[in-house]
């Protein structure tokens, strides 16, 4: 559960242990990290750690913390990249004041909480691209994809997102970002 700091830290520890103990590597190797987990909830919901789930899963722990833990490993791997699956939904808003971004202020709006987190992911990639030039940081939008999560979040309003992509079509661009040469990537780009 990437909305929980403890579980993201445990995941990273497990990855490092698997790399060195099971695979026998001197140091973990990571060619690509994709962050694509999250939720779009219609009601403000806090995790067991007290963090609003949309913010925690998309941005704070699911992208920022996991990425921060991975950066040393990514920097030691030639051609490494981090692909952050954001959303065109972030075009609805600029980055708000912190209290609003973490849903501590004002009436909760699940669509806006999602848009703030997605905007934050894009801004984070821009900053990390400057701070860590040996790694490509790319954010992307998979297109509106027909998934159970989209059905749950949008219900009848889903029709306004048509035409929808299949899950394979949504993944296709993300996979390309993983396998294309680093020279083809615009680090910090969306």
User: Where in the sequence numbering do the catalytic residues fall?
Assistant: 114
* Residue 80: cis peptide before it, omega within 30 degrees of 0: no
Quote the CA–CA distance of 95 and 139 in Å, as a whole number.
16
Q: What is the distance between the alpha carbons of residues 172 and 151, in angstroms, rounded to a whole number?
A: 21
Burial of 148 (0-12, 13-18, 19+ CB in 10 A): exposed
Helices (H), the chain: 5-17, 53-55, 66-75, 98-101, 110-131, 148-154, 167-179
Q: Is 143 exposed, middle or buried (0-12, 13-18, 19+ CB in 10 A)?
A: middle
169: left (phi over 0), alpha (psi -120 to 50) or beta: alpha
Tokens of residue 189, six digits: 């780009």
């Amino acid at each position: 559960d990437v909305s929980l700091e403890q579980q993201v830290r445990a995941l990273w520890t497990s990855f490092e242990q698997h790399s060195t103990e099971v695979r026998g590597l001197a140091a973990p190797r990571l060619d690509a990290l994709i962050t694509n987990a999250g939720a779009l909830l219609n009601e403000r919901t806090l995790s067991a750690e007290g963090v609003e789930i949309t913010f925690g899963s998309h941005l704070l722990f699911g992208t920022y913390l996991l990425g921060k833990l991975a950066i040393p490993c990514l920097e030691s791997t030639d051609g490494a990249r981090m692909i952050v699956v954001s959303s065109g939904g972030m075009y609805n808003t600029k980055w708000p004041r912190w209290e609003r971004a973490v849903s501590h202020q004002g009436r909760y709006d699940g669509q806006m909480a999602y848009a703030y987190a997605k905007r934050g992911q894009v801004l984070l990639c821009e900053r990390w691209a400057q701070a860590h030039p040996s790694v490509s940081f790319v954010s992307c939008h998979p297109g509106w994809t027909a998934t159970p999560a989209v059905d749950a979040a949008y219900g009848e309003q889903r029709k306004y997102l048509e035409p929808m992509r299949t899950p394979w079509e949504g993944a296709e661009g993300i996979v390309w970002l993983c396998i294309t040469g680093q020279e083809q990537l615009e680090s910090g780009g969306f």
